[in-house]
């Protein structure tokens, strides 16, 4: 026995056409009648009846919409914060670069002014290696024989004397510091013009030796290169007297000198190359 399949219901376009016609007629009547017309009145009644329901629906959905708005604002705020943090990091990096350039410019200007004031024939260099301990009395600079650097040339900073070239390679040189135990510099005390010799030591301290007791310096006196011996030009600051110990029974007093050069942080130096104009070892602040 075959079960017959029901035929699909056919759409009735007549009903649709009737609804369309009714809608057009109602729209026409609505726009042509006055505010007191039947359709306008029906619309007002409908709005009046549905208004409480709409208010209740708004009240119920308000927290949900508020939560949605909150999370939307939080997402936007987090994006804004991330953008601002990235911009802040970029600005801080740029500020650090500008500050580094400013400090380098100040150091170089002071170094150039110092050399120009004394009319030194000079060659700028950067320190590429510093002492790793107080027992090491050598630094390395990025200038060598290809730049005209030779052993024995003096090396200075804006604060004063550093030392002299010890060994030279084509593109770098080692500088023996005045604080090294093998260093010795002919010197004078600025205030009294008393000659002596500044020597380094194993621990990096400086001493002023061979000073006559009749002309003892005092703490704070400036010690300069004397220019005697032809190794260093005269008038370069070596350091300041920090203590004087005139013990009886010793041939010379013990005088300690502190260098003004911050070897641990020095970055740029000058190598004095060629002839040096004679200068008077005058006043130094």
pLDDT, tens digit, for every residue of 93-134? Answer: 666 666 656 665 665 566 566 555 556 678 999 999 988 777
d(CA 259, CA 161): 8
117, 144, 164 - which closes a domain: 117
Among 117, 135, 163, the domain-final residue is 117
pLDDT of residue 17: 77
Mean pLDDT of 78-92: 73
In this structure, are 20 and 135 located in the same domain?
Answer: no
| CATH number reported for the structural domain that contains residue 187 in this entry | 2.40.10.340
77 pLDDT more than 60: yes
pLDDT of residue 279: 37
Q: Are residues 129 and 263 in the same domain?
A: yes
Per the prediction, the chain carries an average pLDDT of 77
Is 205 a domain residue? yes
Is a pLDDT exceeding 70 seen at residue 210? yes
Instruction: Name the percent of the chain lying above pLDDT 70.
Output: 59
Q: Sign (positive/negative) of CA torsion 211, 216, 219, 221?
A: negative
**Element at 164 (helix H, strand E):** strand 160-168
Asked if 253 and 163 sit in the same domain, the reply is yes
Q: Highest mean pLDDT range out of 72-76, 219-223, 278-282?
A: 219-223
Q: What are 18-51's pLDDT values in tens digits?
A: 767 676 666 666 666 666 666 666 666 666 666 6
Considering the domain architecture, whether residues 80 and 152 belong to the same structural domain is answered as no
| Overall average pLDDT of the 197-225 stretch | 92
- Calculate mean pLDDT across residues 243-252: 81
Q: Does 177 lie in the same domain as 83?
A: no
Higher-pLDDT residue of 28, 225? 225
* Domain boundary, last residue among 68, 93, 117: 117
1 found inside a domain: no
Q: Is position 9 within any domain?
A: no
Answer yes or no: do 178 and 158 share one domain: yes
Q: Residues 235, 263: one domain?
A: yes
Q: How many domains does the chain have?
A: 2
Q: Are 197 and 71 found together in one domain?
A: no
Residues 58 and 127 in one domain: no
The parent domain of residue 49 ranges over 14-117
More confident site: 182 or 20: 182
Same structural domain, 261 and 186: yes
In a domain, 23, yes or no: yes
Is residue 237 within 8 A of residue 199, CB to CB? The reply is no
Asked if the model's pLDDT at residue 59 lies above 70, the reply is no
Handedness of CA 175, 178, 184, 187 (dihedral sign): positive
Beta-carbon neighbour count of residue 53 at 10 Å?
Answer: 9
Tell me, yes or no, whether 133 and 208 share the same domain.
yes
Q: Is residue 8 part of a domain?
A: no
40 and 170 housed in the same domain? no
pLDDT, one tens digit per residue, over 235-244 is 899 999 999 9
Find out whether 227 and 233 touch, Cβ atoms under 8 Å: yes
CA distances 243 to 24, 199, 256, Å, are 113, 15, 5
Predicted confidence at residue 131, as pLDDT, reads: 85
Residue 280 pLDDT class (50, 70, 90 cuts) = very low
DSSP state, 261?
S
Residue 277 is assigned to a structural domain of this protein: no
- pLDDT digit string, tens, across residues 122-173: 899 999 998 877 778 999 999 999 999 999 999 999 889 999 999 999 999 9
* 5 located within any domain: no
6: in domain: no
């Amino acid at each position: 026995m075959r079960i017959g399949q029901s035929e699909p219901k056919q759409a009735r376009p007549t009903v649709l056409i009737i609804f369309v016609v009714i809608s057009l007629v109602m729209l026409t009547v609505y726009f042509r009648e006055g505010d007191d017309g039947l359709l306008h009145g029906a619309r007002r009644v409908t709005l009046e009846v549905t208004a409480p329901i709409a208010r209740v629906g708004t009240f119920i959905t308000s927290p949900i919409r508020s939560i949605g708005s909150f999370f939307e604002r939080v997402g936007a705020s987090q994006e804004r914060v991330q953008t601002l943090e990235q911009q802040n990091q970029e600005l801080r990096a740029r500020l650090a670069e500008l500050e580094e350039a400013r400090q380098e410019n100040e150091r170089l200007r002071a170094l150039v002014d110092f050399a120009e004031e004394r009319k030194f024939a000079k060659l700028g260099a950067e320190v590429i290696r510093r002492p790793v301990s107080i027992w090491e009395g050598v630094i390395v600079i990025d200038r060598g024989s290809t730049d005209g650097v030779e052993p024995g040339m003096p090396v200075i900073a804006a604060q004063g004397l550093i030392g002299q070239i010890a060994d030279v390679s084509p593109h770098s040189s080692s500088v023996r510091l005045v604080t090294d135990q093998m260093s010795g510099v002919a010197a004078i005390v600025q205030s009294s013009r008393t000659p002596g010799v500044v020597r380094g030591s194993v621990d990096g301290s400086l001493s002023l030796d061979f000073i006559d007791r009749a002309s003892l310096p005092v703490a704070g006196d400036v010690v300069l290169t004397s220019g005697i011996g032809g190794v260093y030009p005269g008038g370069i600051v070596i350091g300041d007297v920090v203590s004087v110990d005139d013990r009886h029974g010793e041939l010379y007093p013990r005088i300690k000198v502190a260098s003004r050069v911050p070897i641990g942080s020095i970055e740029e130096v000058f190598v004095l190359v060629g002839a040096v104009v004679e200068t008077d070892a005058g006043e130094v602040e």
